[in-house]
Amino acid sequence: MFTRQELIDYTRDAKEKWLNHISVDCVVFGFHEGQLKVLLLKMKDEQSWYLPGGFVLKDEHLDDSASRILNERTGLDQIFLQQFHVFGDPQRSRPHYEMYKDVADNENNWFSNRFITIGYYALVDFHNTVPAPDSLSEKCVWCGLDALPGFILDHKQILDNALYALRLQLNYQPIGYNLMPHEFTMPELQKLYETILDKKLDRRNFQRKILAFDILNRSEHPRKGGAHKAPYLYSFNLEKYQQALKEGLAAGW
Residues of this chain that bind a copy of itself (CB under 8 A): 19-22, 56, 58-63, 65, 83, 85-90, 114, 116, 118, 167-168, 170-172, 193, 197, 201, 209, 248-249, 251-253
> What is each CA distance from 233 to 171, 178, 181, 230, in whole angstroms?
23, 17, 11, 9
Instruction: Residue 91: count other Cβ atoms within 10 Å of its Cβ.
Output: 10
Pick between residue 84 and residue 234 the one whose CB is nearest to a copy of itself: 84
Specify the residue, 14 or 19, whose C-beta has the smaller distance to a copy of itself: 19
Q: Distance (Å, rounded) from C-alpha 68 to C-alpha 53?
A: 10
What backbone phi and psi angles, to 5 degrees, belong to 116? -90, 130
| Least spacing, CB of residue 58 vs a copy of itself, in Å | 7
Name the residue nearer to a copy of itself (CB basis): 151 or 193: 193
Who contacts 159 (Cβ-Cβ below 8 Å, separation ≥6)? 27, 38, 51, 148, 151
CB of 207 to a copy of itself, least distance (A): 13
The nearest distance, CB 178 to a copy of itself, in angstroms, is 19
Please choose, from the candidates 178, 181, 250, the residue with its C-alpha nearest in 3D space to the C-alpha of residue 210. Answer: 250
Which is nearer to a copy of itself, 1 or 251 (by Cβ)?
251
Smallest separation, CB 251 to a copy of itself (Å): 7
Helix (H, G, I), strand (E, B) or coil at 100: helix
Q: How far is the CB of 253 from a copy of itself (least distance, A)?
A: 6
